[in-house]
Amino acid sequence: MKKAAIFDLDGTLLYTLEDLADSTNYALSCFGYSPCSVSQVRSYVGNGVRLLIARALPQGEANPVFEECLSTFKNHYKKNMYNKTKPYDGVIEMLDKLKAFGIKTAVVSNKFDIATKELCYHYFDKKIDIAIGESKNIRKKPSPDSVLEVIKIFEFDKKDCVYIGDSEVDIQTAKNAGIDCISVNWGYKDTDFLISKGASCIVENCEELLKSITT
């Protein structure tokens, strides 16, 4: 049994796609650009909001309005990130059971730090022990920095920790941190994609995930 379960947020614990798409399209519309489809935004997420907007905005970071568009997105998202977002089925119960087992829990996300912390507090309250998001002081995933910081705070050996996520970024993050990885296929990437990116353990629901963490 693992002593610590470290989770990705978007596409793993929370369904956030529609709120991300709405804020992306609001920001694009403010500068006269056409909206993206939800499926397009799905393909853009996973590497932080800066890259999300770079992928959605014509010319990306070379666009003269890029920084202003990114700021517009962040401001809109902070006010609208609870509209359509919700925990995936079984997540709340799974987190409760992990706590009952005495397993520490954390979230490490490429979502900007204030949103990561606020979403974790809003939806999970004391079910998550530590939440770390993107900031200027820490490198984004797949850098292992934030995962290693969590392990250091918990004072556990790497072998006692596991990282759980829904994307290739998460697989690489766990590898870079030197810990086990569990991939979930209910998020923004499917089973075939995860296999193609080297996933060694894929689960289809929270019951399977709980079993993988606790056995």
Q: What is the CA radius of gyration of the chain?
A: 17
Select from 135, 155, 154, 146 the least CA-distant residue to 177. Answer: 146
Q: How far is 44 from 55, CA to CA, in rounded Å?
A: 6
Select from 7, 30, 1 the least CA-distant residue to 110. Answer: 7
22 a catalytic residue: no
Contact between 36 and 25 under an 8 Å Cβ cutoff? The reply is yes
Helix count (H) and strand count (E) of the chain?
A: 10, 8
Q: Name the active-site residue from 8, 10, 19, 129.
A: 8
Tokens found for residue 58: 């014509």
Element (H, E) at 161: strand 161-165
Residues designated catalytic? 8
